[in-house]
Amino acid sequence: MAAWLRPLILMIFSGQLTALPETIKIGGLFHPADDKQEVAFRYAVERINSDRTILPRSKLLAQIEKISPQDSFHASKRVCHLLRSGVAAIFGPQSAHAASHVQSICDTMEMPHLETRWDYRLMRESCLVNLYPHPTTLSKAYVDIVKAWGWKSFTIIYENNEGLVRLQELLKSHGLSEFPIAVRQLGDGTDYRPLLKQIKNSAESHIVLDCTTERIYDVLKQAQQIGMMSDYHSYLITSLDLHSVDLDEFKYGGTNITAFRLLDPEKPEIQRVVKDWVYGEARLGRKLQLGPTSVKTETALMYDAVHLFAKALHDLDTSQQIDVKPLSCDAEDTWNHGYSLINYMKVVEMKGLTGVIKFDHEGFRSDFSLDIVELSKDGLRKVGTWNSSEGVNYTRTYGESQKEIVEILQNKTLVVTTILSSPYCMRKEASEKLTGNAQFEGYAIDLIHEISKILMFNYTFRLVPDGRYGSFNRETREWDGMVRELLDQRADLAIADLTITFDREQMVDFTMPFMNLGISVLYRKPIKQPPNLFSFLSPLSLDVWIYMATAYLGVSVLLFILARFTPYEWHKPNPCNPNNPDKLENIFSMVNCLWFAIGSLMQQSCDFLPNFSPYEWDNPHPCLDEPQVLENQFSLLNSLWFTIGSLMQQGSDIAPKAVSTRMVAGMWWFFTLIMISSYTANLAAFLTVERMDSPIESAEDLAKQTKIKYGALRGGSTAAFFRDSNFSTYQRMWSFMESARPSVFTSSNVEGVDRVVKGKGSYAFLMESTSIEYVIERNCELTQVGGMLDSKGYGIAMPPNSPYRTAISGAVLKLQEEGKLHILKTRWWKEKRGGGSCRDETSKSSSAANELGLANVGGVFVVLMGGMGVACVIAVCEFVWKSRKVAVEERAKRSKKEKNEFNNAI
């Protein structure tokens, strides 16, 4: 039921009209220093009295009592005095000490007590209405914002135990996180520097500051003095009154200072009210030093409290006959409308200076909305809101915040750390002494210049003192090099050939990569080999030579065996009388013609020449029909002789006659033809191309040997790559590098290149491909061996949580899209400082002829072996055929003989 409905219904049902006394006194307890509270109280009363819509028939009368914050006895006395005068409510005081006494008296007398102060107690008395936001809800707001920012670790600076109560939700919510948070107390004195220095040394840049509003300026000022108000520091201030602190000195520092506020000083309502107060006081001849930005939350809450009371009383008045009576602290008096009024106050919902005022069912102000304010160069600006149901809601867009960052950057001079490494940053050669940025030139210098032109910032270069890129020392557990410089915020940017690695990315922020590369090997160029006495062996690989020798022996032996086996290789030993031939024969039988043709095709000489003359007809031999022995020309030695003759393309005086042996010979000739042609062709290539001696062709080759030493830059990402690799080859290489004495690590790329040059082949340097590219453009003795072992990029690094990361990344992308990065690369790699000296040499392709391996000529061996198999089969067939023929002939002879004998006998 709506709050306003209830009294109305009650009134209708009770059927009675009610009336409040004409003057209703309300008591206010204020400390002498709280003049603003008192003013708010008085003017709230005045405003209600002049507003005829609330309490139209009554007037409020402010009864003000001044009490000392520490003097609770006096406070009790003043409360009793007020009660005796017949007040309807007590407002204040602000001090917790005095308030507790006032509270207990009000409780006893059932007198409504309205407070506007921070009260950490989660259980409150029944007669109390406190307009200050409930501590648990406020604490939730801090948790939400810290979560929204994604702070992993932070330091809490608190002033007193109440602060810890305020932050208890934050402490609890972080409890299980792996990242530690530090909690430090501010101490009593006014010098906070020692404490701040400790925090600075811990490299913590996220700070939650919980202290009274009056101390905020001093803490921030001292933080600024010791360098804790940089672009990378973020402060969350728990006070709701940051708008009342003078933050002018911190506006341009770029530090992120954020707070919540309940009160928007820019609201016209507040401005009007404050103006009324100032004019009203001036009319009374008093000067009130107050502006909308200096109104504290508690002051505005006091104003709202009076309004809340008036509204509740007004509502109650419509339902009850209210009389206000004097109460005595000495008697057991109570005000019987007290509780009703309190209950009405708790159900009222109204809009005040501090937003919507309403209470939850427990009577706490939990449902409220806070503005999130951030310090910008125009002062504190509202960037979002928080409420308990929706949490943090940023109203500022990402684009707007980036725009602001770019604006801040325009007035800045950034310190840029770098390292001497060609061609990224080199000392300029000049006759006069150069100073400042003019001392350096190179790719990185030009790149930062281009970026600064886009974002319009200034910069100064600072060489990294230890001359290192940045690695984590596992003994000291500290980072070194440029990464250390960034972590200590001695530099704002690090630009060099600084590789983006996982470990570094955990510590510092990187922009988009501006160059891509990978690890490779720098080594001396292969040197020309002196002509080799046995270079004729080179066209074929060793295994091919071995296979050929084996084939030669195999074929010879097979020829020998088949020649024994086939009957057609057996000749009659002696030719008969050539002068008396029985018949003439022609060697060019069909088979012989084919044999002759194939022999010629295979570039082998045949044992006969074609002659179509009658002279071709030769003496037939052997002429003895039945010799006692037959002879075979294919002895083992002759077989070897035949095959070697064929291989050398010379032919021999013996020739196979049987189909099987001719098959062997034919296949061998085919083999010979292909092998000799391949050999000849490759020999020509070998003799024309200079042989280069290159003992290593890749990083794997390096890993396989120990003769050539190899190393990398000490503390660089290349060394870290091998150290952290899980790949066995690279692990082996790392152990080799680590154990090598003298050390194979160098302190710079220049030293590494020097070692490769001086090492004359005994040292290889593992280096990044872009740097290798630069070196081999200028030093023609050196080359890159093999491909890249990995793929990564160089980025511009900056301290963690740097606000400039997005802007600088954007500038890098812009330069890339415009092709400027490519122009810079060409300038510094190919043109300046002797670039392009080795271009002619590098363009000569090292098209060295390769020896022929088994993979190239293996097929010929297969054909040879197939042919040998076929020849064996043919030999068997021949043997069978001849045996059958001989048997038939023998039988015919025998039957003829028997016939003759039979004829002779008859």
Out of 717, 779, 801, 809, the only residue in the binding site for ligand GLU (CB under 6 A) is: 717
Residue among 770 and 779 whose Cβ is closer to ligand GLU: 770
- Alpha-carbon distance of 415 to 72, in angstroms, equals 57
Out of 95, 297, 499, 770, the only residue in the binding site for ligand GLU (CB under 6 A) is: 499
State the distance between the two ends of the chain, measured CA to CA, in whole angstroms: 158
**Residue 795 interacting with ligand GLU (CB under 6 A):** no
Q: Give the nearest distance from C-beta 731 to ligand GLU in angstroms.
A: 18
Cα 287 to Cα 278, 585, 707: the distances in Å are: 7, 151, 92
Residue among 137 and 770 whose Cβ is closer to ligand GLU: 770
Q: Give the nearest distance from C-beta 541 to ligand GLU in angstroms.
A: 37
The residue range among 5-13, 434-442, 497-505, 522-530 that interacts with ligand GLU, by the rule CB under 6 A, is 497-505
Residue among 374 and 497 whose Cβ is closer to ligand GLU: 497
- Alpha-carbon distance of 805 to 493, in angstroms, equals 10
Q: Residue 204 in 3-state DSSP?
A: coil
Number of C-beta neighbours around residue 289 at 10 A = 9
Q: Give the nearest distance from C-beta 469 to ligand GLU in angstroms.
A: 4
Residue among 254 and 716 whose Cβ is closer to ligand GLU: 716
Beta strands 182-185 and 155-158 are: parallel
Q: Residue 294 in 3-state DSSP?
A: helix
Q: Give the nearest distance from C-beta 766 to ligand GLU in angstroms.
A: 7
**Residue 237 interacting with ligand GLU (CB under 6 A):** no
Q: Give the nearest distance from C-beta 372 to ligand GLU in angstroms.
A: 39
**Residue 643 interacting with ligand GLU (CB under 6 A):** no
Residue among 28 and 715 whose Cβ is closer to ligand GLU: 715
Amino acid at 746: T
Q: Residue 745 in 3-state DSSP?
A: coil
Q: How many CA atoms lie within 13 A of 837 on its CB side?
A: 13
Q: Give the nearest distance from C-beta 443 to ligand GLU in angstroms.
A: 13
Number of C-beta neighbours around residue 833 at 10 A = 17
Contacts of 806 (CB under 8 A, 6+ apart): 402, 405
Tell the residue number behind the tokens 């004829």, with chain if given. Answer: 903
Q: Residue 535 in 3-state DSSP?
A: helix
**Residue 730 interacting with ligand GLU (CB under 6 A):** no
Structure tokens at 416: 């840029």
**Residue 767 interacting with ligand GLU (CB under 6 A):** yes
**Residue 768 interacting with ligand GLU (CB under 6 A):** yes
**Residue 718 interacting with ligand GLU (CB under 6 A):** yes
Q: Catalogue the E-assigned strands of 186-241.
A: 206-210, 234-237
Residue 396: phi and psi, rounded to 5, are -80, 135
**Residues within window 454-473 making contact with ligand GLU, judged by CB under 6 A:** 469
Out of 498, 562, 815, 874, the only residue in the binding site for ligand GLU (CB under 6 A) is: 498
- Longest Cα–Cα distance of the chain, Å, equals 186
Paired strand residues for 127: none
Q: Give the nearest distance from C-beta 141 to ligand GLU in angstroms.
A: 42
Q: Give the nearest distance from C-beta 523 to ligand GLU in angstroms.
A: 15
CA angle 30, 87, 274 (to 5 degrees): 45
Residue among 320 and 421 whose Cβ is closer to ligand GLU: 421
- 80, 329 in Cβ contact below 8 A? yes
**Residue 713 interacting with ligand GLU (CB under 6 A):** yes
Q: Give the nearest distance from C-beta 197 to ligand GLU in angstroms.
A: 31
Q: Give the nearest distance from C-beta 746 to ligand GLU in angstroms.
A: 10
- Alpha-carbon distance of 107 to 903, in angstroms, equals 167
**Residue 497 interacting with ligand GLU (CB under 6 A):** yes
Residue among 155 and 717 whose Cβ is closer to ligand GLU: 717
Nearest-CA neighbor of 59 among 33, 20, 9?
20
The residue range among 100-108, 456-464, 592-600, 711-719 that interacts with ligand GLU, by the rule CB under 6 A, is 711-719
Out of 93, 253, 338, 716, the only residue in the binding site for ligand GLU (CB under 6 A) is: 716
Q: Catalogue the E-assigned strands of 515-623.
A: 515-517, 519-524, 527-528, 570-571, 585-586, 617-618
Q: Give the nearest distance from C-beta 419 to ligand GLU in angstroms.
A: 9
Structure tokens at 158: 């608190």
- Alpha-carbon distance of 215 to 226, in angstroms, equals 17
Q: Give the nearest distance from C-beta 497 to ligand GLU in angstroms.
A: 4
Residue among 560 and 794 whose Cβ is closer to ligand GLU: 794
The residue range among 250-258, 286-294, 451-459, 715-723 that interacts with ligand GLU, by the rule CB under 6 A, is 715-723
Residues that contact ligand GLU, how many (by CB under 6 A): 11
Where do the H-state alpha helices sit in 284-419?
297-317, 338-347, 398-410
The residue range among 79-87, 144-152, 357-365, 493-501 that interacts with ligand GLU, by the rule CB under 6 A, is 493-501
Comparing every residue's Cβ against ligand GLU, the nearest one is: 716
Amino acid at 570: W
Q: Which residues lie near ligand GLU (CB under 6 A)?
A: 469, 497-499, 712-713, 716-718, 767-768
